[in-house]
Structure 1
Amino acid sequence: MITSLLTWLTRHRWPAWLWTFLILLACTWPGKDLPESPITFFDKIVHMGLFGGWTFLWLVAQPKHTGRIIILGLAYGIFLEFYQQWLPFDRSFDWWDIMADSAGVLAGYLSFLIVKRFVPDHRQQV
């Protein structure tokens, strides 16, 4: 089942593009409209998850561009923090968000390496 999902993700890039757009949407949403964090630093966990998923989806879609995807993920996280600073409502720049985004990129990359190591080569089925 995992192999067939990976094969499907390899053939379709729209999930990675959709995830990219959803991150932009989430980071643009006014802060006052977001629910209260159930635990301290919950927003950092969310940032890690968003960027971990982003990295994993793009690496599955384009595994030959690992370095480029990692650099783009880091740049996207940094860009979004500056973008939030420029928004006219209650969003702001946060270095800790950049750290969480970067940790998410690393987690997504490590997840990709684990899947690549332990899941049979899904590209042979393409």
Structure 2
Amino acid sequence: MHKLFNHIPFKAKLFLSFLYIAIVMLLSLLPAQDLPKVPLFPYADKLIHIGMYFNLAIILLWTFHSKPTKRITLYAFILLWGLVMEILQILMRSGRHFSWLDILANATGLGIGILLYNYLINRFKLHKEASSS
């Protein structure tokens, strides 16, 4: 199965990465009144943040897989992306609010994504293939 994912062309991976980044941006910056009013349990939005940034980490690490030391740039990008989204929510004045808990949830999703990605790299010996591309 992992060979299937490794044979996807880089341009296709890059397209999927940008598409997902655009979706995260759209969901992060939509005005509050445009979001669906779905009754959820308290802090359910934090699970949504964790999920969005977990997926973002997996997609970007899959697209730009490289030596572990170079992955730090991706980790920093994802953390900064979440911070920028929170700051833009304030600046746009669209009924959205800056939240340190959202940033913590984003970082948690990133951390879980990193752990899973590294596990899969080691489990399926993808690191040899990853470091050669």
User: What TM-score results when the alignment is normalised by the length of structure 1?
Assistant: 0.87
RMSD: 2.2
Q: Which moved more, 1:32-41 or 1:65-74?
A: 32-41
| Superposition deviation, residue 42 in structure 1 | 1.1
Q: What amino acid is the match of 1:55? A: A
Contact 2:30 2:94 in 1 (8 A): no
Aligned residue number for residue 51 of structure 2? 49
Q: Which moved more, 1:75-84 or 1:7-16?
A: 7-16
Aligned residue number for residue 96 of structure 1? 101
Aligned residue number for residue 81 of structure 1? 86
Q: Counterparts of 2:7 and 2:43 in 1: how far apart (Å)?
A: 35
Contact 2:120 2:126 in 1 (8 A): no
Aligned residue number for residue 23 of structure 1? 24
Q: What amino acid is the match of 2:103? A: I
Structure 2: which 5+ runs fail to align?
none
| Superposition deviation, residue 100 in structure 1 | 0.4
Q: Which moved more, 1:59-68 or 1:96-105?
A: 59-68
| Residue 69 (structure 1) aligned with residue 69 (structure 2) | no
Aligned residue number for residue 5 of structure 1? 5
Give CA-to-partner distance per residue, 1:16-66, whole Å, 9 cap, x none: 111111100001111222222422211111111111111111111112231
Q: What SS does structure 1 have at the residue aligned with 2:97? A: coil
Closer/same/farther in 2, CA of residues 54 and 38 from structure 1, 3 Å limit? same
Say how many residue pairs are matched.
126
Percent identity over paired residues: 21
Q: Which runs of 4+ in 1 moved over 6 A?
A: none
Give CA-to-partner distance per residue, 1:74-99, whole Å, 9 cap, x none: 11111110000111321111110000
| Superposition deviation, residue 7 in structure 1 | 3.4
